[in-house]
Amino acid sequence: MINVVGIGGSLRAGSQSERALHIALSGAAEAGARTHAITGSSLVLPFYDTALTERTPEAEHLVETVRQADGVIIVSPGYHGALSGLIKNALDYLEDLRPDTRPYLDGRGVGLVAVAYGWQAAVTTLGQLRAITHALRGWPTPLGGAVNSADVTFDDDGGASDPKTVDTLRLIGRQVTEFALKQG
């Protein structure tokens, strides 16, 4: 069984980026993966500190879930032209995977989506998520998602005002699962 973990969203009720994450995860599930989302308060972690070895239960859960994952999906809102501090701090915790035999995101397909209230931040944030994924030795999927939440609204039933955006997000999720299946 392929395990795909999704990390993303904001702390805002009705977070558009969290809804986008769930759609991408549904695509991963369609392709045969078991999916798990880490969102909201589960992402509220102390600032990553290399001097500390103690981890909160939420931090342990994040690190252990990514360690076991065969694929990852990351969705961030665009904040001031960049990924949010919440998501960046969560990704900093993947430093704990450095000593693993499969370090960081090594060998894993990584679906990336940025959601911002305008194209500029959506595109710059997607580029940053790709750069971070490369640094973590992951394999960004061929398709990435830049979503302009001024044009598209995600509802709480897993849909969106623009069906093409839903298709794109699902395809990103499918690509993550398909990459994992190709690894055997």
What is the closest distance, in whole angstroms, from the C-beta atom of residue 72 to ligand FMN in the complex? 18
Q: What is the C-alpha to C-alpha distance for residues 51 and 49, in angstroms, rounded to an integer?
A: 5
Smaller CB distance to ligand FMN: residue 80 or 164? 80
What is the closest distance, in whole angstroms, from the C-beta atom of residue 117 to ligand FMN in the complex? 4
Q: What is the C-alpha to C-alpha distance for residues 103 and 98, in angstroms, rounded to an integer?
A: 5
What is the closest distance, in whole angstroms, from the C-beta atom of residue 136 to ligand FMN in the complex? 22
Smaller CB distance to ligand FMN: residue 81 or 107? 81
Smaller CB distance to ligand FMN: residue 48 or 117? 117
Single-letter amino acid, residue 4 = V
Distance of CA 98 to CAs 88, 92, 101, Å? 17, 11, 8
The answer for residues whose C-beta is within 8 angstroms of residue 137's C-beta and 6 or more apart is: 103, 104, 105, 106, 107
Phi, psi of 84 (to 5 degrees): -75, 155
Q: What is the C-alpha to C-alpha distance for residues 102 and 94, in angstroms, rounded to an integer?
A: 12
What is the closest distance, in whole angstroms, from the C-beta atom of residue 133 to ligand FMN in the complex? 20
Give the DSSP H/E element, type plus range, for residue 168. helix 163-183
- Which residues are at the interface with ligand FMN (CB under 6 A)? 9-10, 12, 15-18, 77-81, 115-118, 121, 149
Smaller CB distance to ligand FMN: residue 26 or 153? 153
Smaller CB distance to ligand FMN: residue 117 or 181? 117
What is the closest distance, in whole angstroms, from the C-beta atom of residue 20 to ligand FMN in the complex? 8
